[in-house]
Structure 1
Amino acid sequence: MVEGSRTGPDRREAALRRELWRVRNSASFRLGNHVIEAARKPWKALFLPFTLPIVTWQIGMELLGRRPRPMSDSMIQLKGGPERCIVLFPTNGVGFGHFTRMYALARRLRRLDPELEIIFFTTQPTLHLPYLDGFPTYHLAGPNKFQGMDSEGWNAMVQEMLTLVLETHRPQTFVFDGAFPYRGMLDALDTIAVPQKVWLRRGMFRKGTSIPVDSIGKFDLIVHPEDAVLHSPTEIEHGVQVKMVPPMTLI
Structure 2
Amino acid sequence: MAEKNESAVLATHEAKELSRLRNSTSFKLGVLITNLIKKPWRLFRFPYDIIRVLIDKPLEHKSRKCDGLIVIGLDTKGKYHSHLVTNLYPELKDVTDIHFLTTSLVGSPLENHSIIPGPRKMKNRDPKGWNLMVERYVSSYVANNNIGKIVLVSDYPFKGVLDVIKSNPDVEGCWIKTTLPHDLDKQTNHAQSDFDLILDSDKIALAVVNETKDRLPLQKRKGRSNVVIDLPAKLESKSDDLVNRIRSILHENFEADMYQIIYGSDKEVERSIPNKFLEQIDWNSVDLIICDGSIRSQRVVDNSDCHVLCIPNKKLIRDRQIERFNRKGLDEDIIILPNPHDLAIVDALENLLITRPSKGEGRRVKSKSPTTAISLDVLREWII
Render the CA deviation track for 1:160-181: whole Å, top value 9, x for unaligned.
1010111122233211111011
1:123 to 100, 103, 109: 103
Task: Mark the CA change 1:81 to 1:20 in structure 2 (over 3 Å): closer, same or farther.
Answer: closer
2:132 corresponds to: 156
Match of 1:103 among 86, 91, 95: 86
Which one has more relative contact order, counting CA pairs under 8 Å at least 6 apart? 1
Q: 1:245 matched to which residue of 2?
A: 372
Partner of 2:269: none
Report the number of matched residues.
172
Question: 1:206, CA displacement in angstroms?
Answer: 3.4
- Rg larger for: 2
- Quote the residue 1:206 is aligned against: 182
For 2:74 and 2:62, how far apart are their aligned partners in 1? 25
Q: Partners of 1:215 and 1:79 in 2: how far apart?
A: 24
Partner Cα separation in structure 1 for residue 125 and residue 197 of structure 2: 33
Give, in whole Å, the separation in 1 of the partners of 2:71 and 2:138: 11
* Stretches of 4+ aligned residues off by more than 4 angstroms: 19-22, 76-81, 227-230
- Rounded Cα–Cα distance in structure 1 between residues aligned with 2:184 and 2:13: 35
Bigger helix share: 2
1:206/1:160 CA distance change after superposition, 3 Å: same
Structure 2 residue 141 is matched with structure 1 residue 165: yes
- Could you list the runs of 5+ residues in structure 2 that have no partner in the other structure? 19-57, 207-298, 304-369, 377-384
Q: Percent identity?
A: 18
Q: Deviations over 1:167-218 (max 9, x none)?
A: 1222332111110111111111122234532111232683553634431111
> Within 5 Å, which residues of 2 pair with 1:26-175?
79=63, 82-83=66-67, 85-92=68-75, 94-110=77-93, 113=94, 116-124=96-104, 126=105, 129-131=108-110, 135-148=111-124, 150-175=126-151
- What do residues 89-110 of structure 1 show as CA deviations (whole Å, max 9, x unaligned)? 0112544331232222222221
Q: Is the 8 A contact 2:13 2:164 kept in 1?
A: no
**Residues 179 and 185 of structure 2 are in contact (CA less than 8 Å); yes or no, is this contact kept in structure 1?**
no
Distance 1:121 1:5, change over 3 A: farther
Gaps of 5+ in 1: 23-73, 231-242
The answer on whether the counterparts of 2:72 and 2:153 sit within 8 Å (CA) in structure 1 is: yes
How far has the Cα of 1:222 moved from its partner? 1.2
